[in-house]
Structure 1
């Protein structure tokens, strides 16, 4: 009987160990790398390892995200060698303006769900301005903004006629504006938030005094991007959403875009857009490919180059919403230096509040997309990129 008891005990232990091992394998399997699903959306998919990425490090990144190491990330996508090679979605909160930490319902994010891209909207607006110039709707970035503001000529005072379209694209209008020293929130303490309650957003921006001469000083001003929306409407007869749908999104096969309007009906062109992460990736891949897709030049190549080149004095900028070090700024795109295998490489990115990013790294032939819910805390995406994604790139 004693031997029988020992035998039963051994069997119990073996069964327990096998069961535990099986559970651990199942748990780890959730984070095993898998090739993204091929959908009928115009994106080619491929194997990350064949594209020169260490999938073990990407699995570690997935685990770190799920463990909350980078707060709340909703999606991470990587495009390399002309293919979507990594795609993961996570549980997180939908955006809700009046909720604690702006966290609404808790959901499992997926490829078909649109996500607010916040200030990445600015880079969509910028691309559309570039297309409008290429097609002759607008003559030049060097034109005075008042060439396209017939209803606001009364604001052309105190030399404000010297503000150009390029000044708005580069945040160098010189107008007084405080968008960073107060958080977004229901108290409307942020200058940009005030635009939600005024009768005329264009007037509210242009009636401000100068802090500096146009072109000389960077001041982040989302209101200036709304003026670009008004310029687009007056120059083309189309609101920005209509123009983008016809000349940008249609050629890219993007059909997920939704925009928001102010209570007075004016389209908000600085931060209102929502897209699926896959459609965000298509936009980033367009810039990686110098404005071309399937042999068609959608955005002028020189516009892409200007978007990736720091404008005049727009360097040494530190963003309050993320730990990204110093940055440059171009035509609504942020420019940073990264370290890869002991070499400095350039990344330029469309960047949105809360951790919404479309990042282009030409030297690695790569685009990264992130969506997040870190509205009330600094984004830690640079640590994720530096600690996991860049070390994973073998070529």
Structure 2
């Protein structure tokens, strides 16, 4: 009996020590003021910004412990200052690896991250610039005005598909990338890479199943047609165009259009890499109505079209996300929070986000690798970050 009591006591002491050790680890999380660099972002501490630092540090501890799955970075920009920036351990993206997770690394400010479908929002930026500079006359033009080499597909009312319907994913083309896993070639977003046809043909040969402009269907294929239109209108591939008119003015050097088809075309559905800091700069650009360092890079009108839902694009639920119902503008997702006002964001599979909160004068960036599990970043926002910023 005495021996049993002694063993039980030792066991209890062991668990107490383990718990204390775990608590000590979480309590030892060290918040550091973001580093001031020459990238154009000004930094400040949470305390000086009058932000509830206890909430932000608490959620950073939880992220570090894996409470919300695999999050690689979280950056918070408030009232013209970067006030929080931290990076965590996690996997690089690799499509053909288990769970799409490749090498395990410690992420940092200098490591570019795959944006996945947040890439689509950069396509929209390029079109806003191309229209402003006169390369494209109007987004209400038929796509076939800019696709001379694909006129054989201009039939069966497809001439009613416009640039605007591509930007708002209301083209009407048959497409499915939400009901089939992204690990399967039966998913159109994956099947397009394995087709013998070039990516534009892969989309244009499909029938229209809805009147263009009337029905939302999430489609990376629409983005691929836009890439070809931009190239034909400007004489530049999207990597060249974005470098000249978007990334260079923003001082962004980390951009890498890394994903290409066997035919050589750049993937505009999800093929861009940026560092989280450079993602943040794009969010700040939109927060400031398209102005960076005194220069109007994207028109205020275009930013407004991105930040508000288009026509029928309401009440959408994004698979794998905890955002609830959202809207969709010119390739940017939109949401109205009762307490915090309007939000719009560039969003990519696995937890890549550039989130703009105009009413809070804030931008929040996430990166991650929750490819097979639900992204829980809205819980982070509503329970911690947004109350701290309010």
Query: Would you say the 8 A contact 1:247–1:298 is kept in 2?
Result: yes
Verify: 1:354 aligned to 2:347, yes or no: no
Residue 67 of structure 1: how far off its partner (Å): 1.5
Query: Which residue of 27, 40, 43 maps to 2:41?
Result: 43
Residue equivalent to 1:231: 229
Residue equivalent to 1:296: 295
Q: Give runs of aligned pairs for residues 105-124 of structure 1, distance below 5 A.
A: 105-124=103-122
Q: Distance in 1 between matches of 2:87 and 2:97?
A: 23
Residue 300 of structure 1: how far off its partner (Å): 0.7
Residue 309 of structure 1: how far off its partner (Å): 1.1
Q: Distance in 2 between matches of 1:320 and 1:85?
A: 31
Verify: 1:372 aligned to 2:368, yes or no: yes
Measured against aligned partners, the alpha-carbon deviations of 1:179-220 in whole angstroms (never above 9, x if no partner) come to 1000101x3120111110122111110111111100000000
Identify which range, 45-54 or 93-102, moves more after superposition: 45-54
Residue equivalent to 2:217: 219
Query: Would you say the 8 A contact 2:185–2:194 is kept in 1?
Result: no
Q: Distance in 2 between matches of 1:31 and 1:369?
A: 20
Q: Distance in 2 between matches of 1:328 and 1:25?
A: 41
Partner-residue secondary structure (3-state), 2:355: strand
Of structures 1 and 2, the larger Rg is shown by: 1
Measured against aligned partners, the alpha-carbon deviations of 1:285-332 in whole angstroms (never above 9, x if no partner) come to 000000001111000110000111110010000011211110000000
Residue equivalent to 2:336: 337
Verify: 1:193 aligned to 2:165, yes or no: no
Query: Which residue of 247, 250, 253 maps to 1:249?
Result: 247
Q: Distance in 2 between matches of 1:227 and 1:24?
A: 52
Query: Which residue of 81, 86, 95 maps to 2:84?
Result: 86
Residue equivalent to 1:383: 379
Query: Which residue of 52, 71, 75 maps to 1:77?
Result: 75
Partner-residue secondary structure (3-state), 1:119: helix
Q: Give runs of aligned pairs for residues 62-211 of structure 1, distance below 5 A.
A: 62-185=60-183, 187-198=184-195, 199-211=197-209
Query: Would you say the 8 A contact 1:33–1:55 is kept in 2?
Result: no
Q: Distance in 2 between matches of 1:170 and 1:28?
A: 44
Residue equivalent to 1:7: none
Q: Give the TM-score normalised by structure 1.
A: 0.91
Measured against aligned partners, the alpha-carbon deviations of 1:75-95 in whole angstroms (never above 9, x if no partner) come to 000111111110010000111
Query: Which residue of 34, 54, 77 maps to 2:32?
Result: 34
Q: Distance in 2 between matches of 1:83 and 1:23?
A: 35
Identify which range, 143-152 or 41-50, moves more after superposition: 41-50
**Inter-CA distance 28–175: structure 2 relative to 1 (3 Å threshold):** closer
**Inter-CA distance 30–277: structure 2 relative to 1 (3 Å threshold):** farther
Q: For structure 1, which runs of at least 5 residues remain unmatched after alignment?
A: 1-18
Verify: 1:322 aligned to 2:318, yes or no: no
Residue 40 of structure 1: how far off its partner (Å): 2.5
Q: Give the TM-score normalised by structure 2.
A: 0.92
Q: Distance in 2 between matches of 1:162 and 1:349?
A: 28
Partner-residue secondary structure (3-state), 2:116: coil
Query: Would you say the 8 A contact 2:26–2:61 is kept in 1?
Result: no
Q: For structure 2, which runs of at least 5 residues remain unmatched after alignment?
A: 1-16
